[in-house]
Structure 1
Amino acid sequence: MELHDFSTKKISQQTEHTRKRYNVSSVVYDLMEWPVEWIWYNKWRKLLWKKVEGPNVLEIGIGTGKNISYYPKNIQVNGIDLSPKMLERAKTVLSNYPNERVRLQVMDVQNLDFPDNYFDEVVATFVFCSVPDPILGLKEALRVTKPGGKHHLLEHMRSRNPLFSSMMVKLDGPIHYLSGVHIARQTVENVEAAGWKIEQVKDLTMGGIFKRIKATKSH
């Protein structure tokens, strides 16, 4: 396991603010998410990673390493995160899996330090709700994915229900101010706008707030 830091690359003021926010919250991040992790997220993560074949995989926003225990065998993972402090937590988790081929890197998804057409598959779980420019990040993910490669996402987004949707739009600003997370993004549309071909969208909860998305890079 290796840990590389690309945090000296120039980033926007908004992105730097996001990095600082997650550095501060890294110590209590798992505790804050424990209820939804226990009720929903862990089973969704497990099902998603069963569909990942690799062999060369990019995990965007690896965070504290919640997906590490679900990695399929015989894949190589580059796990990136904007926050060095979050990656320190992931490094601790990774120490319990000495046989995993994982490289941890401090990196901004909006400015990836990988060549074009490099990865077979890309995974992001609950990440693009907090990326300052999600379409730019999704375009960068597309750039570094091989033609025919897949992008697997778990995300929460704006509800299909008109009443809930309206409420989420109104609350998005205050919630983002407090937590750094957007609750009213339209991530399926953002994935398409970035140039990915949507293969599957599966609603995981009523109203379509939580979804699993599979997209492909065209040949």
Structure 2
Amino acid sequence: MAGSMNGAGKTNAHPHQSKIYSEFSRFYDKIFERIFFPRIARVIASLHIPFGARVLELGVGTGLSLSAYPLDCNVVGVDLAQDMLDQAAEKIRERGWHHIILRQMDALNLDFPSDSFDYVTAFHVVSVVPDASRMMAEARRVCRPGGKLVIINHFRSERPLIGPLVDLADPVTRKLGWRTTLKLVDIIEGAPVSIEQKFKTSPRSLFTVVIARNEKEIAAVG
């Protein structure tokens, strides 16, 4: 998902209009698999997803992460970019994954009832969507109370020298469809979540792993 930004970190273009996420979808895995997959696989394994758990992955793209999910859980992957989903669908057919389904869908307007999933994951997506706060609100809505929200993303460094330095790249990355200035607090402040883990998989990593518990109230019955 991508597009050019405007205002408070919002984009004008849709994901399928992004040069990286559309025109280069065929080469996406070759470029990013070595960079992203080991980290994603390690995080998914650490979740110990139980039998029959319902998992939603936002911005599933070409399905780079799909092989990391246990075969005995139920995974739904959504993305707006159909050309990316076509690549993911090919992986599913080739490997006979019957536990995974794909849907073309906007992560900002999810077509699922509330409390539909036990886990909602978003890998390298939060800084790409037009409205990260809205995406996280939708993630919390469709995740059951007590469920897990799992994010891997680049967030603006809190280090006084690193943060401003990386900010210099922001005008360029915005044209490619993502921003470097997003802070974690921008998407969780005031939200009913509790962060259970926040870490980097290596000291030099640019990416932060966040595992949070959805603390929203259980909906009243009747």
TM-score (norm 1): 0.84
5+ residue gaps, structure 1: 1-12
Q: 1:52 to 1:130 in 2, by over 3 A?
A: farther
Point out 4+ residue stretches in structure 1 off by more than 6 angstroms: none
5+ residue gaps, structure 2: 1-9, 218-222
Distance (Å, rounded) in 1 between the aligned partners of 2:96 and 2:179: 35
Matched residue pairs, number? 202
Q: 1:15 to 1:57 in 2, by over 3 A?
A: farther
Q: Offset at 1:100?
A: 3.2
Which stretch shows the higher mean deviation, 208-217 or 141-150?
208-217
Q: 1:109 to 1:103 in 2, by over 3 A?
A: same
* Deviation per residue, 1:158-181 (Å, 9 max, x gap): 12321120022232122211x212
Secondary structure of the residue that 2:151 maps to in structure 1? strand
Distance (Å, rounded) in 1 between the aligned partners of 2:134 and 2:89: 27
Secondary structure of the residue that 1:162 maps to in structure 2? coil
Q: Offset at 1:59?
A: 0.7
* Deviation per residue, 1:79-104 (Å, 9 max, x gap): 00010110000011112321431110
TM-score (norm 2): 0.83
Give the structure with the larger helix fraction.
1
* Deviation per residue, 1:30-54 (Å, 9 max, x gap): 2332xxx32x422211111111515
The aligned residue for residue 82 of structure 1 is 80
Distance (Å, rounded) in 1 between the aligned partners of 2:85 and 2:67: 15
Q: Offset at 1:207?
A: 6.6
Determine if contact 1:64/1:86 at 8 Å carries over to the other structure.
Answer: yes
The aligned residue for residue 26 of structure 2 is 27
Determine if contact 1:159/1:208 at 8 Å carries over to the other structure.
Answer: no
Q: Using the aligned pairs only, state the percent identity.
A: 31
From 37, 41, 46, give the equivalent of 1:42: 37
The amino acid across from 1:200 in the alignment is Q
